[in-house]
Amino acid sequence: MPNERDTAGYLPHLTARTERLAIAGVLVLALALRLLRLDAALWFDEIVTLLRFVRLPFAELVQTYDSLNNHMFFSLQAKLAVTVFGETAWALRLPAVIWGVAGIWALWRLAREVTWPGAAVLAALLMTLSYHHVWFSQNARGYTGLLFFGLIATLLLVRALRRPGWAVWAAYMACLVAAMYTHLSAGFFFLAHGLAWLMLTVAARARHGGLPNGAVRMPLVAAAGAALVLVLLFGPMVPQISETFGAVQQGSGSAVKSASVEEWKSPLWMLAEVSRSLGPVLGLALPAVVLVLIVSMIGFARTEPVLPLILAGHVVLTVAILVATGFRIWPRYFLVDLGLICLFLIHGSYLIGDWLAARVGALPRAAGMWLAVAGIAASLVLLPRNYAYPKQDFTGARDFVEAQRHPDAAVMALGLTAMPYLDYYAPGWVGIDDLDGFQAAYRPERENWIVYTFPGVIEKRFEDLFARYGDAFEKAAYFPGTLAEGGIVVLKSRGG
């Protein structure tokens, strides 16, 4: 841990009591931001989670893995929440909120271990105000739980490298099991942990000619124990898991054209999505963000080398494995890195501020703190977007159509759009899966409506339909959402 500063990381009068009050205030703010508009309409993946998994009996749920949408540990928590509070959007998302706030506390604890107290509080504040963290904290999926367990495991690994002990490694084993039971992509993150531990252990042995007692045996026992528990949890589902992964790898069983699936397997597509999600303002600042990250990684390489090894290792390993195995490279697989990124950005700002203050006499000693605060303020540009729209406005589009349609009109939901409406929001509509299905439902003498989401994907898939019948329809409305390409398009037949 770096030496304490007289100003405790430049935040004025940051005594232990003040620090506790500060982080408590950050956590209260975090909870308020994540409860705001928590009842907005569910989006596609959340509806799948609810209908296909949360509604299952408990005994059946723990033995079902026919889709990557089943984040098992989260599904169990969501089932408990809707059982207690009723089947509402906010109840389904409540576990994600809880893990999201807990993850901010976990980041503060990790940051408090490796940097200055003031910087630790600001790192927690940065993640509190992060658009992406708020978005996923209001998403009925297991990603915020995965982030929490990843941060706690990283904190435990830092401590274990300093002073190995059975209690630390037992807690680490519990985090590994919980993370893997939440989402199997946790394996990439813990593989990065393992490689970082191995590199540092080999380096320490070479440097000191030996290791503390149990430094190797303890983590190996923890890994073996975690493997045993995971075999017991996932054992009955191994055939389903294999079949599900094979289907995703080949793109079969998907409602999306293979061209779209191939695009999602490209690292360049993933980078473009990350850049797009930052918006035009923060997107321009991306080079500066990368510079701060690099400075921080160099700084931590001297004091806590395990941290940059984990972050860089996880990104490289995840991309390499997904490309090699032909899986889609979703940006969400890297949410587990968000805590470390927030920590690195604040720590790097402090280091840059120190360097500048030492060379520019006019700058205050607290230049690093103010640089970090400026970065946090800039991140606020994105946050209001989270509350402007639902993730996908299925209910807005439904209510619009139902208010405008003729009683005898046909309302057709295309492709991926069929499930959310026919199975949840509008059971009376017609699901269309191909041109033949559309021709069977379409009657030019009456009023017809077409509703679809993911327009970039749907318009490619139904290219033959739009080429033949596109002129017979006009756009009646468009309902934007915060999910990328997740807006809802509503078409109405001309003169119907």
Separation CA 309–CA 297 (nearest Å): 9
Residue 48: Cβ within 10 Å count: 21
pTM over 0.85: yes
Q: Do 376 and 486 share a structural domain?
A: no
* DSSP conformation letters of 30-86: HHHHHHTTTTSPP-HHHHHHIIIIITS-HHHHTT--SSTT--HHHHHHHHHHHHHH-
Q: What is the pLDDT of residues 261-319, one digit of tens each?
A: 566 666 666 677 766 777 766 667 778 889 999 999 999 999 999 999 999 999 999 99
Q: Do 382 and 399 share a structural domain?
A: no
In the predicted structure, residue 403 carries a pLDDT above the cut 70: yes
* Residue 178 forms part of a structural domain: yes
Q: Do 189 and 127 share a structural domain?
A: yes
In the predicted structure, residue 384 carries a pLDDT above the cut 60: yes
Q: Do 402 and 346 share a structural domain?
A: no
Q: In this predicted structure, what is the pLDDT of residue 256?
A: 46
In the predicted structure, residue 260 carries a pLDDT above the cut 60: no
Among the three residues 388, 414, 438, which one is the final residue of a domain in this structure? 388
* Residue 10 forms part of a structural domain: no
Rg (CA), the chain: 25
Q: Do 95 and 193 share a structural domain?
A: yes
Structure tokens that stand for 100 in this block: 């999201």
Q: Could you list the residue range(s) of the whole structural domain that residue 483 is in?
A: 394-493
Q: In this predicted structure, what is the pLDDT of residue 265?
A: 63
Q: Do 402 and 375 share a structural domain?
A: no
Q: What is the pLDDT of residues 40-79, one digit of tens each?
A: 999 999 999 999 999 999 999 999 999 888 999 999 999 9
State mean pLDDT over 439-460.
Answer: 94
* Residue 123 forms part of a structural domain: yes
* Residue 76 forms part of a structural domain: yes
Among the three residues 388, 418, 437, which one is the final residue of a domain in this structure? 388
Q: Do 251 and 117 share a structural domain?
A: yes
Q: Do 247 and 184 share a structural domain?
A: yes
The end-to-end CA distance of the chain, in Å, is 72
Q: Do 60 and 104 share a structural domain?
A: yes
Q: Do 215 and 112 share a structural domain?
A: yes
**Helix%, strand%, coil% for the chain, nearest 5:** 70, 5, 25
Q: Do 173 and 147 share a structural domain?
A: yes
In the predicted structure, residue 434 carries a pLDDT above the cut 50: yes
Domain count across the chain: 2
In the predicted structure, residue 98 carries a pLDDT above the cut 50: yes
Contact 489, 449 (CB under 8 A): no
Which residue is it, tokens 């003169």? 495
Q: In this predicted structure, what is the pLDDT of residue 270?
A: 66
* Residue 72 forms part of a structural domain: yes
* Residue 5 forms part of a structural domain: no
pLDDT averaged over every residue in the chain: 91
Separation CA 439–CA 122 (nearest Å): 58
